[in-house]
Amino acid sequence: MKKLVLGAVAILVAVIAVVIGFKIKSDSLINAKIEELKNNGFVVKHQQSSNYLKTTGSGQIEVVYPDKVTTYLFSKIKNEEIKKTLEKQYSLLETVEKVEIFEGITFDYDFVINNLSFDANTNIYLSSLSKKAMYTLTQESTNIASSKWLLDFLKDKKLKVSIDKNANYKIADIDTVIPELMFLTIRGLEGNSKNMKLGLLKLSGTEKSDKDFFQLNDLNVDYNFDDKKEISNSTIKNIEFQDFDNSFNIKNILINSNTIKDEVNISGKSEIGFDEVNVKKYGEEVANLKKTTLNFTVDKLPIKKLDEITSYLEDENYKDYVKTLFQSGISVSSNGSATTYMIKGQKIFDTLKYDLSLGLNKNGSIEDAKNVKDIFETIKLVINLDNETAQNLKNLLNLKQPDSQVDFIDGENNLKKFEAELKTDGVYVNGKKVLEEKELELPKKKSFDDSQYLGQNTNGKGVFYDYELIGDNLLKVTFRYVPDMSTITSGGISVSFPELKDATRIKKHTTNSFEKINFYDAGSEIWNGGLEKNIISSYLLVEGWDENWTDATIEKEFSLEIDVKDLDVLQINLRGGALNDTNNGEKASEIVPVDGELDQQNYPIQIADIEIYSLKK
């Protein structure tokens, strides 16, 4: 009996020792996490109580040092590309903006930890926005109902996230009215590192006459991201939208994406589909589209890293990127199918299927392309239609263009097929050649030389320019100056743009004759020849100047690539000038043109406006 008692006591002591050990470990983990937060820009207020079986705690976490907090949070992101993108966006914020947005954001929390199993359940509540935002809301709360609502929403801790030990999260349902704005319902929002679900999102207007309404049901997203692949599969049971005049409903949406990366390229496939789309206007059905799927595939897209692509585009280094794109051997393909499309009660087709593939010419170039085949190695399009639709389409095309080459042949499953393909010697439709290779030549780029209108003398000396539209909205202008002097010590070209305040639209500049091209935005100090003193510029000035120009037979030039989007006419003031400081009795200086309208520097200029709209015709 004594041995049994001693044995029981020994077991009890062992259990107590284990429990105490677990409790100590639990306390140690909590304290370590609090210190980690404090060392990374947060202020933490914490309190807890423990017994040998469980630990409960609560407190507040406040953002005090935004830079430290964001650095800490970004370090937790495993995907390097996403992390670098967020870091770059954050770095664009001014210090005052970081403070206004982040400083003072506060979360309340509470948790329960089982000291034996380490099961943990944590609740986190957003209780305060930044100090600046809270101050503004408080000032507005007496007059603006929505500001008062948001203050109460935060005070009552309505935004609650519950997290278990496996990082499964659930956001508390929200069913509220934002005064004078909307009814808002969010239900069943939960997930983890691989999945997210949303049962219901519903928005509607608060006014009795307000017909605005949006509802999303049963969103499910499965995802798996790492450095080598990104996979996501999404389904939505229903999306419904309506306003006073229109309603839109789409059922059983499918959105899938699968991307694989290596050190150089990305290859990916995307799929989009739905079971039915219904559109009404004033209660009348205007469109009904049935079962539809679209697939897009890209192979060997040359994206080494996200930040490298960003650098290409930010520097407007399109030529280098396009060159890389061609050399990669990229191919693009797409296929899809659709059934029973009705528009305003009229059947458009019963069945449509298509298959499209494109392959770029590895040795090709858009800039130097003279023929379609200089851009594309392969193009193939296959369309299958139901018999009735194919015949209707053929009749319509023949009516509008009697010599139309469009025809259909028998395909599978009683469908009619149209097939067009780019081959080495031309374009074939349904196996018959319809275009010879020479007919694939591209129209020549529009290029203009307006030198005859500019200040020049009978020797062909003076200022000149020519221009060329090298993209949909990208204009390349080259300026040249040929001096009419025997001896030169310095000189250059000045170009100003009366309608531009800064160089934002100048995407690229090149020169073979100036060490540097200088840009003077509006507000810069520039020399005024009439006043003989510096003035503040009122519009953009671009200048190339050579202090050591000794060979008068060499012309000076530079080119600008200018974004002309939304411009009908680009206004340009142009002049050239040179100095001779040798005191050799020859011509001491010149300004070209000699007379004419004056620019902001009080020098005569040649008006060199370019009509953009005429280039795009």
User: Mean pLDDT throughout 223-241?
Assistant: 90
- Quote the pLDDT of residue 314: 53
- Quote the pLDDT of residue 313: 52
User: Mean pLDDT throughout 569-589?
Assistant: 89
- Quote the pLDDT of residue 311: 58
Tokens of 455: 């200040």
Q: Under CATH, which number does the domain 447-615 receive?
A: 2.60.40
First-to-last CA distance in the chain?
108
pLDDT digits (tens, 9 = 90+) for 501-558: 999 999 999 998 998 999 999 999 999 888 889 999 999 999 999 999 988 888 999 9
- Quote the pLDDT of residue 451: 45
> In 380-411, which positions are buried (b, 16+ CB within 10 angstroms) versus exposed (e)?
bbbbbbbeebbeebbeeeeeeeeeeebbbeeb
Task: Using a pLDDT cut of 90, give the percent of the chain over it.
Answer: 53
Q: Are 191 and 197 within 8 A, CB to CB?
A: yes
Tell me the whole-structure pTM to 2 decimals: 0.66
> In 337-353, which positions are buried (b, 16+ CB within 10 angstroms) versus exposed (e)?
bbebbbeeeeeebbbbb
Measured at the alpha carbon of residue 111, what is the angle toward residues 109 and 114, in degrees to the nearest 5? Answer: 170
Q: How many CB atoms lie within 10 A of CB 416?
A: 21
- Quote the pLDDT of residue 26: 62
- Quote the pLDDT of residue 317: 54
- Quote the pLDDT of residue 8: 39
From residue 32, alpha-carbon distances to 26, 29, 36, 135 in Å are 10, 5, 6, 33
State yes or no: pLDDT of 611 exceeds 90: no
CATH topology of domain 2-64+103-125: Nuclear Transport Factor 2; Chain: A, (3.10.450)
- Quote the pLDDT of residue 304: 60
- Quote the pLDDT of residue 400: 61
What does residue 356 show for φ and ψ, rounded to 5 degrees?
-125, 135
Question: What's the rounded Cα separation, in Å, for the pair 268 and 296?
Answer: 8
State yes or no: pLDDT of 83 exceeds 70: yes
- Quote the pLDDT of residue 577: 93
- Quote the pLDDT of residue 12: 36
Residues 6+ apart with CB under 8 A from 29: none
Question: What's the rounded Cα separation, in Å, for the pair 493 and 575?
Answer: 6
The domain locations on the chain are 2-64+103-125, 447-615
Question: What's the rounded Cα separation, in Å, for the pair 151 and 146?
Answer: 9
pLDDT band at 17 (very low <50, low <70, confident <90, very high): very low
| Averaged confidence pLDDT in the chain | 85
Three-state DSSP state, 581: coil
State yes or no: pLDDT of 1 exceeds 50: no
- Quote the pLDDT of residue 77: 84
Task: Using a pLDDT cut of 70, give the percent of the chain over it.
Answer: 88
Three-state DSSP state, 159: coil
pLDDT digits (tens, 9 = 90+) for 286-336: 999 999 999 999 888 776 644 555 555 555 555 666 667 777 778 899 999
Tokens of 607: 């008006």
Same fold, 2-64+103-125 and 447-615: no
Residue 80 vs residue 90, higher pLDDT = 90
pLDDT digits (tens, 9 = 90+) for 92-109: 999 999 999 999 999 999
- Quote the pLDDT of residue 452: 42
pLDDT digits (tens, 9 = 90+) for 379-421: 999 999 999 998 888 887 776 666 666 788 999 989 999 999 9
Q: 6-20, 64-78, 161-175, 486-500: which range is least confident on average? A: 6-20
Residue 396 vs residue 66, higher pLDDT = 66
- Quote the pLDDT of residue 35: 93
